[in-house]
Amino acid sequence: MKSYRDVATELRRRIELEQEGYRPGDDLPALENLENEFGLSKQTLRSALRLLADEGLVSTGRGRKARVRDNQRIRIPFARYGGIMAPGGTAGPWENACASQGIDGRMETVLVDTRPIGQADAALLRVDPGSDVVYRQRHACVGDEVLQVQQAWYPRTIALQAGLTSTQKIQGGVYAALANSGMVPAAVDETIRARMPTTEESELLQSGGGVPLLTVERVTRTADGQTLELLRVTAPADRIEFVYNNLPLPTA
């Protein structure tokens, strides 16, 4: 008798070869159809789909069929910040990075509010613990997929001056808004780590519980050392690449 692992092996083969309608974005057959094909119980078939979801090959959700997950990697170069502070641009770094690869990326603002900041984050932002800061949460999307969750904190006076307190789209991105307000980003500290997702994160990112997340923590400052932004980005490790090209090396 076939096991759920045998079923997963066969479905994995079809997905990898993109055969029989198993292409990125396609729905897998309904459980009833798989039941007829493999002669196994729905519970066994669910176990097979769960295994494929943990591998990041399919996405599952309540009330809908399992869907073949798009594993095309999106390259996010550090150079994405190079030209965004020039006047006239409307797209932000995520949209520009996607467009350069022929991908229609968009940024959705989920939440903007004012809240007290905790001690650890206050130290990074260089504000007093418990002081009110402006918090922004955004989702970087391609189609109906969320590929990054971005959480950012700003000193309240800076957010007000740069117009970062509304949920409206920021033309050209946050860096452009800061620069246009006289607060030019000049230096960043960026730390990249990896960890496993929570259940809520894997559901939102449709990545499966077995796909690690990349987490980016970035602190942005002006040339004179004023901290402008604390940003944290969470993304599935099999869909996003952070690329650092042409970095200068010390000569002495």
Q: Nearest Cα to 57, choosing from 195, 198, 208, 205?
A: 208
The predicted pLDDT at position 31 comes to: 92
Kind of pairing between the strands at 74-77 and 240-243 = parallel
**Residues of the chain below pLDDT 70:** 1, 62-63, 79-89, 252
The predicted pLDDT at position 162 comes to: 96
Q: Nearest Cα to 214, choosing from 239, 233, 232, 194?
A: 194
The predicted pLDDT at position 101 comes to: 92
The H-assigned helical ranges of 130-197 are 156-162, 174-180
The predicted pLDDT at position 21 comes to: 77
The predicted pLDDT at position 171 comes to: 83
What DSSP assignment string belongs to 8-36? Answer: HHHHHHHHHHT-TT--TTPBPPPHHHHHH
Instruction: Please name the residue that has the structure tokens 């994160």.
Output: 201
The predicted pLDDT at position 85 comes to: 46
Domains in the chain (CATH in brackets) are 4-68 (1.10.10.10), 74-243 (3.40.1410.10)
Instruction: Please name the residue that has the structure tokens 């690449």.
Output: 241
Which residues contact residue 41 at a Cβ distance below 8 angstroms, ignoring those fewer than 6 apart? 35
The predicted pLDDT at position 79 comes to: 66
The H-assigned helical ranges of the chain are 4-17, 31-38, 42-54, 93-99, 119-125, 156-162, 174-180, 199-205
The predicted pLDDT at position 122 comes to: 97
- Cβ atoms of 198 and 206 within 8 Å: the answer is no
- Cβ atoms of 70 and 24 within 8 Å: the answer is yes
Is residue 227 helix, strand or coil?
strand
Q: Nearest Cα to 158, choosing from 139, 131, 140, 137?
A: 131
- State the Rg of the chain over Cα: 22
Query: Whole-prediction pTM value?
Result: 0.86
Please tell me the distance from the alpha carbon of residue 109 to that of residue 6, in angstroms, as a whole number: 42
Neighbour count for residue 129 (Cβ, 10 Å)? 12
Q: Is the dihedral of CA 113, 115, 118, 121 positive or negative?
A: positive
